[in-house]
Amino acid sequence: MKKIINEPVDYVKEMLEGLYIAHKDQITYTNDDVHCLITTNKKDGKVGIATGGGSGHLPLFLGYVGDGMLDGCSVGDVFQSPSAEQMLEVTKAIDAGAGVLYIYGNYNGDIFNFDMAAEMADMEEDIKVESVVAGDDVASADDTAATNTRRGVAGIVLVYKCAGAAADKMMNLDEVKRVAEKAAGNVRTMGVALTPCIVPRVGKAGFSIAEDEMEIGMGIHGEKGIRTGKLAKADEIVDEVLEKILGDLPHAKGDEVVVLVNGLGATSLDEQYIVTRRINQHLAEKGLAVHKYYVGEYATALEMAGFSISVLKLDDELKQLIDAPANTPFFKQI
């Protein structure tokens, strides 16, 4: 394992300490626990939005706490859920009198702990909490089940953006939840991995991919994808991924979309823009208009090589919310 760290056990704590030093004007923590990250700019009467999840995915999840997006984030160890108690402390700190909305990924540990935190917030603190569970990964399950069993991946960033803008417009809790549900219901994601990643406490890769292979549909913790195959050219990979995404996302010619091209941690921007070029060609062939591109690292898996594509279908409301300004340590839009 080659990583620029001190002791593996201190990996998350020291990462968080560095973040607070670098972004002290935007983020701090509560309850004397660096894992309970909150905004420094709390607005009275605004719906608070909280997220949370395991470390190892920067900028996800904590990188989107700031103006126009989230208000707090509970931070777990690498690929591990934070505790319900940490989520409760974040909830208490960000409540500004209008209730709190939880937006988090569709993983069992997060669901269990967020549900427990919501119950404690209601019973112990009289804080009304609503939840939206994001599951945008089309590779992890089909859409025939009664409930969404798909993993939450990079598309959750676009849900944060829409819900955060709605809260910033001082919509009430029910309306912010409605917006988040609409965005979550209209975003689809699929990823491609070229290499594994190494959890610091483990010290070795949890799985292997041959030098000449790729995994289509792999999750951001190394979950199995839909197929392993020989590494293809960029255009061929994009076409396969977009066919899966668009085959699952209801759309019509002339629809507008937002596209998020996400590096998984060890993919150069050069490669990401090569991918973006082909996405633009493919969507034009399908008669879809791209309103906005986001290209970069938005939801990583430590040092995994690969990328994901997220597509959000817009309506007039979501388009306005996507375009609203935001300013967080890792997301800036004027």
Q: What is residue 141's predicted lDDT score, i.e. its pLDDT?
A: 86
Q: What is residue 146's predicted lDDT score, i.e. its pLDDT?
A: 56
**Is residue 61 reached through a cis peptide bond, with omega within 30 degrees of 0 on the bond before it?**
yes
Residue 27, class by beta-carbon neighbours within 10 Å (0-12 exposed, 13-18 middle, 19+ buried)? buried
d(CA 311, CA 136): 10
Single out the residue of 154, 328, 330 nearest to residue 258, CA to CA. Answer: 154
Q: What is residue 148's predicted lDDT score, i.e. its pLDDT?
A: 77
Q: In what order do the strands lie in the sheet with 27-29?
A: 27-29, 36-39, 72-78, 48-55, 100-105, 129-134
Q: What is residue 147's predicted lDDT score, i.e. its pLDDT?
A: 61
Q: Using one digit for the tens of pLDDT, what is the confidence trace for 240-290? A: 999 999 999 999 999 999 999 999 999 999 999 999 999 999 999 999 999
- Tokens coding 180: 């988040």
**How large is the greatest C-alpha to C-alpha distance in the chain, in angstroms?**
56
d(CA 237, CA 306): 11
* Cβ-Cβ contacts under 8 Å for 223 (sequence gap 6 or more): 140, 151
Confirm if 99 and 129 have CB atoms less than 8 A apart: yes
Look-up of token digits 């610091």:
200
Where do the domains of the chain lie, and which CATH numbers do they carry?
8-186 (3.40.50.10440), 187-322 (3.30.1180.20)
Q: What is residue 292's predicted lDDT score, i.e. its pLDDT?
A: 98
b/e per residue 45-80 (b: at least 16 CB within 10 A) = ebbbbbbbbbbbbbbbbbbbbbbbbbbbbbbbbbbb
- Catalytic positions are 57, 221
Q: What is residue 145's predicted lDDT score, i.e. its pLDDT?
A: 62
Residues forming beta bridges with residue 292, ordered by sequence position: 258
Single out the residue of 282, 302, 304 nearest to residue 192, CA to CA. Answer: 304
**Which stretches of the chain drop beneath a pLDDT of 50?**
none
Confirm if 47 and 103 have CB atoms less than 8 A apart: no
Quick one: CA dihedral 233, 236, 239, 243, positive or negative?
negative
Single out the residue of 131, 167, 36 nearest to residue 92, CA to CA. Answer: 36
- Give the pTM: 0.97
Single out the residue of 319, 279, 273 nearest to residue 296, CA to CA. Answer: 273
- Tokens coding 182: 């609409």
How many other β-carbons are positioned within 10 Å of the β-carbon of residue 175? 15
